[in-house]
Structure 1
Amino acid sequence: MTRLSMTLGCWDYDRVQPLMDGRVRPDGIDLRFLNMIVEETFFRMAKFREFDVSEMSMSSFVVSHFKQDRPFVAIPVFPSRFFRHSCIYVNADAGVNEPKDLIGKRFGCPEYQMTAPVWIRGILSEHYGVPVDGPTYVTGGEETPNREEKISIELPDNFRLERIGPEDTLAQMLADGRIDAFHTARKPSTYDGVRVKRLFPNYVEVEKAYWRDTGIFPIMHVIAIRREVYEQNRWVAMNLFKAFREAQNLCYAGLKETAALKGMLPWFNAHVEEAFDLMGEDFWPYGVEKNRATLDVFLRYHHEQGLSPRKLEVDEMFAPETYEEFVI
């Protein structure tokens, strides 16, 4: 039987390594795993659609859904999740001591439509009283100049968006005090805990409290298939979903191994036990129904922040074949 050859752009997370090393092979598919950092993967898929299947920013996927050609179809696999309270940085002299101090400030982010800032702005608004149109948002490269939005966006007039200069970087502007705060996915190189500090220095406790209050483990990335690939071979959606889930199950099994440390952290097993105790054994669920509430909150945030012209519904996001499975 001829197998369909497909390229997958994705980082080498532990939950996908069995797809990378061949321990898991999707039925009917020869998968060529292209291991790249997320910024490169997102840029190449969103701009040039280079891969058959790709890890993709959740926000970029939703923005693309409102483009005329709707270039991608998602499957409910979420290779990246991240609590983001740790990712808000402030200049020590900016007078930002609590979230509400951000109102009226200059708040940097590499791209306004990035998923991490969507979650951060939404959480600040819903849980800390910082209106999403309260700060002025300043965009551009974090560590190198001239970063631009991967996908073009048009925001309502009440949002204030500025571009930094062609030789500027947000990390340095934060240290210099030319922006007051910065929300991002990567810790800036200028973070030192003194001149550049976290808004929530006790972020672990804050994020655990957020989980207890909401049950949300924020989803950052989704797996997207180029629409023409999906339309020509609709069976690939479910076969890929099953393969990603099988790979993740192998990762879960490894986490439960106690004879030796599967990761290099000295108290790796203690961290695993703590996560299971706090969040349950399937603390990183795939599939639509287990993630419906989290996805619905993100889609609401996305619309409230001017990134989608209407609130997208969860059931519009994913290949319909992945909502149900055959049972005997």
Structure 2
Amino acid sequence: MRLRTLLGDHPCTAALKSGSIQSDLVEFDFVDYSPTNKGFKPMVREAAFDVSEMAIVTYLMAKSVGKPMVLLPDVVVARFQHGHALYNAKRGTLKPADLNGKRVGIRSFTTTTGAWLRGLLANDYGVDLGSIDWVTFEDAHVAEFRDTTKRAPAGKPIIQMLLDDELDAVLGEKSEHPDLKPLFPDAEGEEKAWFAKHGVVPINHMVVVKQELSERHPDAVREVHRLLSEAANGSAAAPRFNANDIHRSLEMIIGYTAQQGLIPRAYAVDELFDDVTRALRA
């Protein structure tokens, strides 16, 4: 069975994309999007792929409006988030707790990195997210989401707006510009402390399959998971998550996503899977 597949170039997908791991049951017909997240919108809006890498917040939002996709317990991208926030130091020092009432830019209000960062700012640093003047640059992948943020001027890059004093801080970005400093000055130290407190590694991207594929060809879905697991286990650089790690991370991002109004309620982790993929979590 040939499966139209969207997977980025990651340590945990390299063996699949090179063909060094193959199957007698399924064959991946890879499509290329650069960056990979450009393919999330056609997956959500058009069910463009049989198998797709997917930002976890996009998946949660898609589920909330009934998009026919099912989650696999396969982590593709995971990282701590503290290092992906900047401010303009020429205007003075800005700390996370100083963000109340400030102008904060983010590529889209619905990015997974943004949801993680807003969640930790609100819950660990006491930031009132509702007081912030959010400025965004792109629509949500999920068309049904009603975005009430302020839209940046067309063609104006987010980093340039920060440099031009049109924003006080940005989330989801890195830069080597000498005027721009990390919002968390000791990001690595903050990340270690956050992990010690919560025991969670933030998941960014997992893998989904079409609901129809899972319903009609469960053996193919099980084989996709087996191949993804084999490829990840064969790479020393691939994310290492057991079932409990995935559960804790998903539980936290579900809570953050509901808290921020991106989904109408907090799902139980089990709800993200169907009978076929739930059995693969062990």
Same fold (TM over 0.5): yes
Of residues 284, 290, 293, the one that matches 2:240 is 284
Q: Distance in 1 between matches of 2:10 and 2:205?
A: 12
Of residues 304, 315, 318, the one that matches 2:270 is 315
In the alignment, is the contact (CA less than 8 A) between 1:19 and 1:33 conserved in 2? no
Q: Distance in 2 between matches of 1:235 and 1:306?
A: 36
Q: Tell me the SS of whatever aligns to 2:48.
A: coil
Deviation at 1:107, TM superposition (A): 0.7
| Structure 2, gaps ≥5 residues long | none
In the alignment, is the contact (CA less than 8 A) between 1:75 and 1:319 conserved in 2? no
* Gap change, CA 1:325 and 1:99, over 3 Å in 2: closer
* Gap change, CA 1:27 and 1:285, over 3 Å in 2: farther
Per the alignment, residue 255 of structure 2 pairs with 300
Q: Distance in 2 between matches of 1:222 and 1:209?
A: 25
Read off the aligned partner of 1:14 and give its amino acid letter: P
Q: How many residue pairs get matched? A: 280
Of residues 135, 154, 166, the one that matches 2:154 is 166
In the alignment, is the contact (CA less than 8 A) between 2:73 and 2:281 conserved in 1? no
Of residues 72, 78, 102, the one that matches 2:99 is 102
Deviation at 1:118, TM superposition (A): 0.3
Q: Distance in 1 between matches of 2:281 and 2:80?
A: 34
Of residues 190, 206, 214, the one that matches 1:230 is 214
Of residues 127, 136, 140, the one that matches 1:149 is 140
| Larger displacement relative to structure 2 (204-213 or 39-48) | 39-48
Question: Aligned Cα RMSD in Å?
Answer: 2.2
**Larger RCO: 1 or 2 (CA < 8 Å, sep 6+):** 2
Per the alignment, residue 62 of structure 1 pairs with 60
Of residues 85, 89, 108, the one that matches 1:111 is 108
Q: TM-score, normalised by structure 2?
A: 0.91
**Largest Rg, 1 or 2:** 1
Read off the aligned partner of 1:163 and give its amino acid letter: R
Q: Distance in 2 between matches of 1:27 and 1:5?
A: 11
* Gap change, CA 1:315 and 1:111, over 3 Å in 2: same
TM-superposition CA deviations, 1:57-91 (whole Å, max 9, x none): 111100000114x2211101110001110001112
Q: Tell me the SS of whatever aligns to 1:80.
A: strand
Deviation at 1:242, TM superposition (A): 1.4
| Structure 1, gaps ≥5 residues long | 141-146, 256-281
TM-superposition CA deviations, 1:143-190 (whole Å, max 9, x none): xxxx322213136xxxx6211122322121111010111001x425xx
Q: TM-score, normalised by structure 1?
A: 0.79
Per the alignment, residue 122 of structure 2 pairs with 125
Q: Distance in 2 between matches of 1:200 and 1:180?
A: 14
Deviation at 1:42, TM superposition (A): 1.9
